[in-house]
């Protein structure tokens, strides 16, 4: 036995039957790995089909929209060959007329019209009206279409059609960062009064950072207190920290409205104590202040819990040791306690930041106009304007930003230096 | 050290009391004087108040009543970081986010010491515990014994006159523990510092200390050198707690000078050294060390009939459990000498002792 | 979402037709408005047919309908939508075509197609009411109240916050009207870039004093809480606060924007037949007139006007003058141009949002 396992053949350890030891080990481990895989398979399948696939499918909408190509097939082919600068040809008009008839019959003209209208405002009725009369069109189609509506002679309309006809398009991503995608493939910044997304991304990051920092400043002492109190008291306080989870997010946000509105509790108190004049009360809600206050409150438990779970594992003897060596209270905290609580800060910070960056109910209710965040606009495009492609593109940009920040955190602090308990 | 007030390292507890809840005193009227350079151990079962005393000395607990003096100065109102006392904690408390070198450098940095001086002191302290090769390691990369040495070096690196050690060897295995006992002892002798050491291990206390304070119930039961503690325990608790001990319960019949006559509960009458037994008529505990008992001999007032219950072979001696005057746990150590008595289980014999070795203590 | 299952009004109805009973899901805007529909449409229909109705609330828009139709999992049978959404949903193939021949003739014998307001019946939708976006104020806080749309934009004459719906629709029209554009010319002006600039410039003058609302229930609440001095609102909501809750609010009928609410059936609705029957039933002269006694929205049938009575709990409160269609209220009214909004809402929404965030 002894020689069989230690004998080397070309420097390779061999098992008793002469096969390389590494292979035997791999075979032995394979079974246990297979069993482990079997145990997590249901979860992996769930994550894959209920999480990853829907997200990927939806994000794809941000770069892929085949509404036009599918419902206007002939003109799409023609537009693919057009150089975007010369006069549109009769063949293009003929294809357009045929497609208008088709779209009218299949009741898809509205979809096509909406799609083109996003590229050039005012073209929606051009499509729906023209489609109603498309059957009466006769060759030469160029003349008859322009006669039907002179807009068909406008090259800008055709450029818009060209952009819409490309199923795979960077147009939405461009729009998500306030750029305009042109028919010739170039990008330009949107006009001043239509730029909004970059500002919103910046504001979203700003609010998230402030909420995270405020959460840390407020949560750190609480977590510290919790971790130093005897178990019975700290459990009671911990229940108080968790208490907000027992009421819905909506209720907590609405409670802040009652607290902060200009005729609310807080302002009433300010007036009673003479801190504000009755007719000149503070605007604490329906603005960024309101968003910050409500979000900080709602996300505070997510900061406290990881901090607490890490602080609980820091024995009080470390600080005592530091003091016995001559460190003042502050030095002992800053040099000894604080560095050991960093994993909790990392975990709490990332948790709060990532939750904050995608917050939307609270800013929608208390944000007013300068307290709304990017998610509110994603929501707007999902529910109101029905521009799901733009919503997907904005979601994609947001996801990219989060992943990039996560990567940055890993580079600077190290992801393994994060502890959730 | 200029910044600290540990002075010459002497410590005085003057009528110190401590209560956590305002109802129960964990430390009752503690009076203790520890001289400069002394190695004093506070020994006692858990809950006896010994750790509380150490924490009051370190400044992490405040005395409810009384004064603690360090180098002659009261320190009740001085925060721990200004006391200049080195301390070794039970689980070492090495800072996990710092290397060994940084750990040792920490007390020097907070004293605003220059870099060169710091490095020299750190090196010297690590040399002292033979750990200089580990200067760049993290505590997590060290074994328990190595961590213990670093903790020791860290308590010594800033030249404290007084070093407190709170069960520093509790987490080590037996062999390493014994080795470290000698090492700490040697360092103490070499540096001439004052050491206050807390342990519940009596053999550790006897091995290392100049003097041992045996704590029970918030009171120092006896404060003496190890040999006196062992040879001449002043009360039943100390006799029982330090080393092995055979006890026989009885009532004092008379006291004449140093000697007392005691009537055992079994009816037999014994002579005993009157140490702490009270007047005639009071209950008493007779204490006899196993190694002072010999097998055989004539029946006197310092002997008894014994029935052998169990024999355990231990190499250098044979441990013999007997029934003596109703006590089933009467232990006798029979040396494994060339001509020693060979006992059989069930056999009845006589055991005897010198009358001064039978000490009449409190009941 | 609030779900309330309206079980058959009487046990007898259930016994009579349990074999045929269908349950349709009717989706509307909630609050006093849904309540008026329940009283005037749902209850009589349930009593008549023995079917049941599951009533759901939503906050407008086609998003849910689009989701359901595209996912092939339609659960809604009937939805109360605005005109622009009815047209758009129909164009995009999200809605069932409704044959207007199912509609009964008016109570006075007028054929249905002539009885409804001109042009209000569309391919996929049957109108029920005319509603308006007006502005209102609290008479207990402002003694000599505002009388024109100009006053709404004049914060020096009438200090205090203003409430407006968060969106360009009707705000831009009102802004232009306040800037002196005649009702008939509003959409011509708004169709030009200069006109849009002009409207936003007018909105700029009160932007800092504006609280933006989104749900129809908010404006009366903002007024009641004193958060705003005046606010735009749906006229029915303000009326309801006055009539049902005795709030001291007053409506200013000047340059209000009126629009239609219509029934639409999502494509592939599970109970299409029953939903069609409900549409025909609820848009009859009597039902539309009955609804007007619960909320102050004007019936979409001309023949209903003469049947409109008093408020359901206050016999001396005649509903006629409360209607947006009452001649006294209608002088400067602006009709919402759904085609203009269908064409321009993407761009104007974008511009409005950018303007808000500035």
ipTM field: 0.81
Q: Distance between CA atoms of B81 and A319, rounded to whole angstroms?
A: 11
Residues above pLDDT 70, as percent of chain A = 95
A36 conformational bin, left if phi > 0, alpha if psi -120 to 50, beta if neither: alpha
Predicted pLDDT of residue C92 = 85
Q: Which residues of chain A does B85 touch, with a Cβ-Cβ cutoff of 8 Å? A: 324
Question: In chain A, where are the structural domains located?
Answer: 2-61, 67-192, 197-417
Q: Tell whether the model's pLDDT for residue C75 goes beyond 90.
A: yes
pLDDT in tens, A285-304: 888 999 999 999 999 999 99
Q: Is B238:B214 a contact under the CB 8 Å cutoff?
A: yes
| Chain segment B33-47, per-residue pLDDT in tens | 999 999 999 999 988
Distance CA A306, CA A353 (A): 13
Those chains having 3 or more beta-carbon pairs within 8 angstroms of chain B are A
The count of C-alpha atoms lying within 13 angstroms of the C-alpha of C90, restricted to the half-sphere facing its C-beta, is 20
φ and ψ at B77, to 5 degrees? -100, 15
Are B and A touching by the rule of 3+ CB pairs within 8 Å? yes
Strand ranges across the sheet with B39-43: B86-88, B162-166, B194-199, B39-43, B211-216, B219-224
CA-based nearest residue to C181, from C191, C195, C192, C162: C195
Q: Residue A191: closest CA among chain C residues belongs to which residue?
A: C351
What is the DSSP pairing of strand C210-213 with strand C162-165? parallel
Using CB atoms, which residue from B81, B93, B155 is nearest to A328? Answer: B81
Q: Give percent of chain A with pLDDT exceeding 90.
A: 48
Query: Do C205 and C293 reside in the same domain of the chain?
Result: no
Tell me the residues of C at the A interface, defined by beta carbons under 8 Å apart: 61-63, 66, 88-93, 166-167, 200, 211-212, 214, 225-227, 339, 342-351, 353-357
Q: Residue A105, Cβ neighbours under 10 Å: how many?
A: 12
Contacting A residues, span 223-282, partner chain C, CB-CB under 8 Å: 261-263
| pLDDT beyond 70 at C9 | no
What would the DSSP string read from start to end of A50-112?
IIIHHHHHHHHHTTB--HHHHHSHHHHHHHHH--SSSPPPHHHHHHHHHHHHHHHHTT-HHHH
Which is nearest to B292 in space by CA: B336, B244, B362? B244
Of A317, A326, A340, the CB nearest to B110: A326
CATH number at residue C38: 3.40.190.10
What local confidence, expressed as pLDDT, does residue B362 receive? 85
Of the partner residues A324, A335, A336, the one whose CB lies closest to the CB of residue B87: A324
DSSP state of A337: I
pLDDT in tens, A339-363: 999 989 988 999 999 999 989 889 9
One-character DSSP codes across B302-318? TEEEEEEEEEEE-SSEE
Closest residue in B to A334 (Cα–Cα): B110
* pLDDT recorded at residue B106: 95
For A36, C26, C128, C165, C264, the CA distances from C81, given in Å and listed in that order, are 53, 11, 10, 17, 7
Give yes or no for residue C26 having a pLDDT over 70. Answer: yes
CA angle C297, C300, C302 (to 5 degrees): 115
What confidence tier does C20 reach under pLDDT thresholds 50, 70, 90?
low
Per-residue pLDDT, B335: 85
pLDDT at C13 over 70: no
Percentage of residues in chain B with pLDDT exceeding 90? Answer: 49
C253 and C289 together in one domain: no
pLDDT at A69 > cutoff 70: yes
Residues of C in contact with A263 (CB under 8 A): 225-227
Residue A199 to residue C357, Cβ atoms within 8 A: yes
Assess whether C111 and C147 both reside in one domain: no
Stretch A116-128: mean pLDDT = 88
Which residues from C are below 8 Å from A262, CB to CB? 226-227
* Cβ A219 vs Cβ A303: under 8 Å: yes
Whether residue C163 is found in the same domain as residue C203:
yes
> Which of C61, C225, C356 comes nearest A261 by C-beta?
C225
Closest Cβ–Cβ partner in A108, A263, A385 for C225: A263
> What band does B3 get if pLDDT is binned at 50, 70 and 90?
very low
Q: Give yes or no: residues C227 and C345 share one domain.
A: yes
Cβ contacts (< 8 Å) between A339 and chain B: which residues?
A: 97
3-state SS class at B96:
coil
- Domains with residue ranges and CATH for chain B: 11-231 (3.40.50.300), 244-362 (2.40.50.140)
Give residue-wise pLDDT tens across range C203-214.
Answer: 999 998 898 888
> Which one of C69, C91, C167, C347 would you mutate to disrupt binding with A, by most A Cβ within 10 Å of its Cβ?
C91
Q: Band the pLDDT of C52: cuts 50, 70, 90.
A: very high
- Nearest CB to A107; choose among C93, C167, C227: C93
- CB contacts of B154 in chain A (<8 Å) are 325
In the predicted model, is pLDDT for residue C41 greater than 80?
A: yes
Task: Please report residues of A whose CB lies closer than 8 A to that of C196.
Answer: none
How far is the C-alpha of C26 from the C-alpha of C269, rounded, in Å? 11
Same domain, C39 and C104: yes
What residues of C are in contact with residue A386 (Cβ under 8 Å)? Answer: 61-63, 66
Partner residue facing C88 (CB), from A106, A110, A263: A110
Kindly list the distances between the CA atom of residue B61 and the CA atoms of A96, A336, C300, in Å, as whole numbers in the listed order.
90, 20, 84
Tokens standing for A319? Answer: 């600080």
**A323 and chain B: CB distance < 8 Å anywhere?**
yes
Nearest to C344 among A121, A262, A383 (CB): A121
Segment B149-169, tens digit of pLDDT: 999 999 999 998 899 999 999
Q: Do residues C309 and C341 both lie within one domain? A: no
Number of Cβ within a 10 Å radius of residue B289? 20
Provide the pLDDT for residue A124: 87
- Taking an 8 Å cut-off on Cβ atoms, the answer to whether C343 and A125 are in contact is yes
User: What average pLDDT score do residues B329-340 get?
Assistant: 84
State the Cα–Cα distance between residues C309 and C311, nearest whole angstrom: 7
The reply to whether CATH 1.10.3720.10 applies to domain A197-417 is yes
Q: Is the pLDDT of residue B282 over 50?
A: yes
- Taking CA atoms, B138 is separated from A53, A312, C35, in Å, by 44, 22, 72
Q: What is the pLDDT of residue B165?
A: 94
C252 in the same domain as C265: no
The answer to whether residue B294 scores a pLDDT higher than 90 is: no
Please check the confidence at residue A241 and state whether its pLDDT lies above 60: yes
Residue of A325, A337, A414 best to disrupt the B interface, most CBs of B under 10 A? A325
Per-residue pLDDT for C278 more than 90? yes
Q: Which residue has the tokens 């502005």?
A: C135
Are C354 and A193 within 8 A, CB to CB? yes
Q: Same domain, yes or no, for C315 and C191?
A: no
In whole angstroms, how far apart are CA B190 and each of A33, A192, B127, B186, C344? 58, 81, 14, 6, 93
Please give the C-alpha separations between residue B146 and each of A137, B43, B126, B184, C151, in angstroms, as whole numbers: 95, 25, 11, 13, 84
Q: What is the mean pLDDT of chain B?
A: 89
Q: Round the CA-based radius of gyration of chain C to a whole number and report it.
A: 20
Q: Do C226 and A263 touch (CB under 8 A)?
A: yes
C16: left (phi over 0), alpha (psi -120 to 50) or beta: alpha
Strand partners, B259: B256, B273
User: Does residue C272 sit in the same domain as residue C148?
Assistant: no
Which candidate in A314, A320, A321, A414 is best for mutational testing of the B interface (most B CBs within 10 A)?
A321
pLDDT in tens, B207-248: 999 999 999 988 999 999 999 999 888 888 999 898 888 999
pLDDT at residue number A332: 93
How many angstroms separate the CA of residue A336 from the nearest CA in chain B? 7
Domain span holding position C229: 137-258+336-357
Which residue in chain A is spatially nearest to B107 when comparing CA positions?
A: A325
Which residues does chain A have within 8 Å of residue C213's beta carbon, measured at their own beta carbons?
none
Helix, strand, coil % over all residues of chain B, rounded to 5 = 25, 35, 40
- C-alpha span between A114 and A390 (Å, rounded): 13
Q: Please indicate whether, in this complex, the C-beta atoms of A326 and B87 are within 8 angstroms of each other.
A: no
A residues 296-315 closer than 8 Å to C (CB): none
User: Quick count: other Cβ atoms within 10 Å of Cβ C290?
Assistant: 23
Average pLDDT of every residue of chain A = 88
pLDDT value of position C151? 93
Residues C348, C206, single domain; the answer is: yes
pLDDT > 80? residue C48: yes
Partner residue opposite A317 with nearest CB, options B4, B85, B89: B89
Query: Could you give the CA distance from residue B361 to residue B284 in angstroms, rounded to a whole number?
Result: 6
Based on the domain organization, do C202 and C176 belong to the same domain?
yes
pLDDT digits (tens, 9 = 90+) for C85-127: 898 888 888 999 999 999 999 888 888 888 888 878 888 999 9
Q: How many domains does chain C have?
A: 2
Contacts of B107 in chain A (CB under 8 A): 325-327
Distance from CA of B165 to the nearest CA of A (A): 12
Our CA-based measurement puts residue A314 at a distance from the nearest CA of chain B, in whole angstroms, of 10
B97:A340 CB<8 A: yes
* Cβ-proximal residues to A274 (8 Å cutoff; 6+ apart), any chain: none
CA distance C292 to chain A (A): 29
- Taking the Cβ of residue B84 and every Cβ of chain A, the question of whether any pair is shorter than 8 Å is answered with yes
Round to whole Å and give the CA distance between B209 and B242. 14
- Out of A196, A382, A384, the one facing C354 most closely (by C-beta) is A196
């Amino acid at each position: 036995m002894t020689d069989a396992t230690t004998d080397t053949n070309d420097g390779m350890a061999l098992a008793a039957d002469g096969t390389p030891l590494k292979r035997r080990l791999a075979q032995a481990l394979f079974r246990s790995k297979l069993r482990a895989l079997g145990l997590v398979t249901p979860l992996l399948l769930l994550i894959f089909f209920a999480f990853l696939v829907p997200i990927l499918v939806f994000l794809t909408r941000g770069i892929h929209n085949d509404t036009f190509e599918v419902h206007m097939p002939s003109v799409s082919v023609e537009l693919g060959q057009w150089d975007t600068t010369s006069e549109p040809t009769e063949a293009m008009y003929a294809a357009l007329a045929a497609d208008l008839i088709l779209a009218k019959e299949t009741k898809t003209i509205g979809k096509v019209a909406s799609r083109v209208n996003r590229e050039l405002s005012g073209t929606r009725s051009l499509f729906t009206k023209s489609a109603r009369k498309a059957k009466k069109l006769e060759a030469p189609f160029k003349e008859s279409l322009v006669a039907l509506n002179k807009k068909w002679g406008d090259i800008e309309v055709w450029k818009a059609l060209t952009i819409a006809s490309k199923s795979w398009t960077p147009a939405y991503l461009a729009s998500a960062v306030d750029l305009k995608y042109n028919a010739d493939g170039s990008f330009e910044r949107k006009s001043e009064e239509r730029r909004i997304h970059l500002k919103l991304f910046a504001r979203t990051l700003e609010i998230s950072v402030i909420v995270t920092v405020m959460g840390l400043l407020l949560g750190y002492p609480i977590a510290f207190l919790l971790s130093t109190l005897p178990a019975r008291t700290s459990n009671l306080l911990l229940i108080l920290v968790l208490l907000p989870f027992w009421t819905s997010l909506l209720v907590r946000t609405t409670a802040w409205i009652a607290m902060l509105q200009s005729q609310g509790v807080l302002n009433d108190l300010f007036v009673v104590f003479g801190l504000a004049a009755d007719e000149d009360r503070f605007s604490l809600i329906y603005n960024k202040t309101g968003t910050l206050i409500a979000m900080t409150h709602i996300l505070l438990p997510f900061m406290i819990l990881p901090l607490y779970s890490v602080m609980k594992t820091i024995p009080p003897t470390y600080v005592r040791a530091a003091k016995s060596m001559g460190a003042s209270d502050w030095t002992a905290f800053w040099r000894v306690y604080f560095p050991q609580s960093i994993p909790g800060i990392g975990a709490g910070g990332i948790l709060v930041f990532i939750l904050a960056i995608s917050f939307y109910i609270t800013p929608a209710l208390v944000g007013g106009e300068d307290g709304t965040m990017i998610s509110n606009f994603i929501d707007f495009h999902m529910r109101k304007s029905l521009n799901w492609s733009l919503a997907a593109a904005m979601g994609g940009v947001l996801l990219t930003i989060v992943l990039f920040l996560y990567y940055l955190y890993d580079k600077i602090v190290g992801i393994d230096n994060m502890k959730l308990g | 050290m200029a910044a600290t007030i540990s002075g010459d390292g002497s410590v005085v507890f003057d009528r110190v009391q401590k209560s956590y809840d305002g109802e129960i005193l964990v430390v009752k009227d503690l009076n203790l004087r520890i001289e400069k350079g002394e190695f004093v151990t506070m020994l006692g079962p858990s809950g006896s108040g010994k750790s509380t005393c150490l924490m009051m000395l370190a400044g992490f607990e405040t005395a409810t009543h009384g004064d603690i003096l360090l180098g002659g100065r009261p320190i009740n109102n001085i925060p721990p970081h200004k006391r200049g006392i080195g301390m070794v904690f039970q689980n070492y408390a090495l800072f996990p986010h710092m290397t060994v070198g940084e750990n040792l450098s920490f007390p020097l940095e907070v004293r605003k010491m220059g870099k060169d001086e710091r490095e020299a002191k750190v090196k010297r302290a690590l040399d002292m515990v033979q750990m200089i090769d580990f200067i760049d390691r993290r505590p997590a990369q060290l074994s328990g014994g190595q961590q213990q040495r670093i903790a020791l070096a860290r308590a010594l690196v800033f030249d404290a006159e007084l070093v407190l050690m709170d069960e520093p060897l509790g987490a080590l295995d037996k062999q390493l523990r014994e080795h470290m006992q000698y090492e700490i002892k040697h360092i103490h002798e070499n540096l001439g510092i004052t050491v206050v050491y807390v342990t519940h291990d009596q053999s550790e206390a006897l091995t290392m200390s100049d003097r041992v304070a045996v704590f029970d119930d918030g009171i120092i039961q006896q404060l003496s050198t190890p040999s006196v503690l062992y040879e001449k325990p002043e009360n039943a608790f100390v006799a029982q707690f330090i080393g092995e001990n055979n006890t026989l319960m009885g009532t004092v019949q008379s006291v004449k000078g140093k000697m007392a006559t005691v009537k055992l509960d079994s009816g037999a009458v014994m002579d005993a050294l009157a140490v702490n037994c009270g007047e005639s008529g009071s209950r008493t505990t007779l204490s006899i060390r196993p190694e002072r008992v010999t097998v055989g001999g004539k029946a006197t007032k310092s002997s008894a009939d014994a029935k052998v219950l169990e024999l355990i072979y231990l190499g250098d001696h044979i441990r013999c459990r007997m029934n003596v005057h109703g006590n089933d746990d009467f232990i006798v150590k029979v040396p494994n000498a060339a001509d020693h008595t060979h006992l059989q289980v069930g056999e009845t014999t006589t055991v005897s002792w010198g009358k001064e070795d039978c000490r009449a203590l409190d009941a | 979402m609030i779900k309330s299952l309206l079980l058959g009004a009487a046990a007898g109805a259930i016994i009579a037709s349990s074999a045929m009973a269908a349950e349709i899901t009717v989706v509307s805007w909630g609050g006093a408005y849904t309540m008026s529909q329940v009283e005037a449409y749902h209850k009589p229909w349930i009593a008549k047919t023995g079917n049941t109705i599951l009533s759901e609330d939503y906050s407008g828009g086609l998003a849910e309908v689009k989701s359901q139709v595209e996912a092939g999992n339609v659960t809604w049978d009937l939805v109360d939508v605005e005109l622009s959404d009815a047209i758009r949903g129909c164009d995009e193939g999200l809605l069932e075509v409704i044959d207007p021949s199912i509609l009964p003739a008016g109570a006075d014998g007028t054929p249905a197609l002539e009885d409804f307001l001109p042009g209000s019946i569309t391919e996929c939708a049957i109108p029920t009411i005319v509603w308006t976006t007006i502005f209102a104020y609290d008479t207990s806080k402002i003694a000599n109240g505002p009388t024109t749309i100009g006053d709404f934009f004049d914060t020096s004459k009438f200090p205090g916050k203003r409430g407006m719906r968060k969106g360009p629709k009707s705000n831009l029209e009102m802004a232009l009207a306040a800037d002196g554009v005649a009702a008939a010319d509003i959409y011509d002006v708004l169709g030009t870039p200069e006109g849009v600039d002009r409207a936003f410039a007018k909105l700029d003058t009160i932007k800092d004093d504006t609280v933006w609302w989104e749900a129809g229930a908010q404006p009366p609440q903002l007024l009641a809480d004193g958060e705003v001095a005046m606010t735009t609102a749906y006229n029915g909501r303000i009326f309801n606060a006055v009539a049902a809750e005795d709030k001291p609010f007053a409506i200013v009928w000047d340059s209000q924007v009126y629009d239609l609410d219509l029934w639409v059936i999502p494509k592939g609705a599970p109970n299409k037949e029953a939903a069609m029957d409900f549409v025909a039933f609820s848009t009859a002269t009597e039902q539309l007139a009955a609804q007007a006694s619960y909320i102050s929205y004007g019936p979409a049938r001309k023949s209903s006007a003469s049947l409109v009575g008093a408020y359901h709990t206050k016999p001396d409160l005649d509903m006629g003058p409360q209607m947006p269609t009452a001649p006294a209220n209608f002088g400067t009214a602006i009709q919402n141009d759904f085609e203009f909004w269908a064409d321009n809402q993407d761009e104007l929404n974008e511009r409005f949002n950018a303007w808000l965030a500035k």
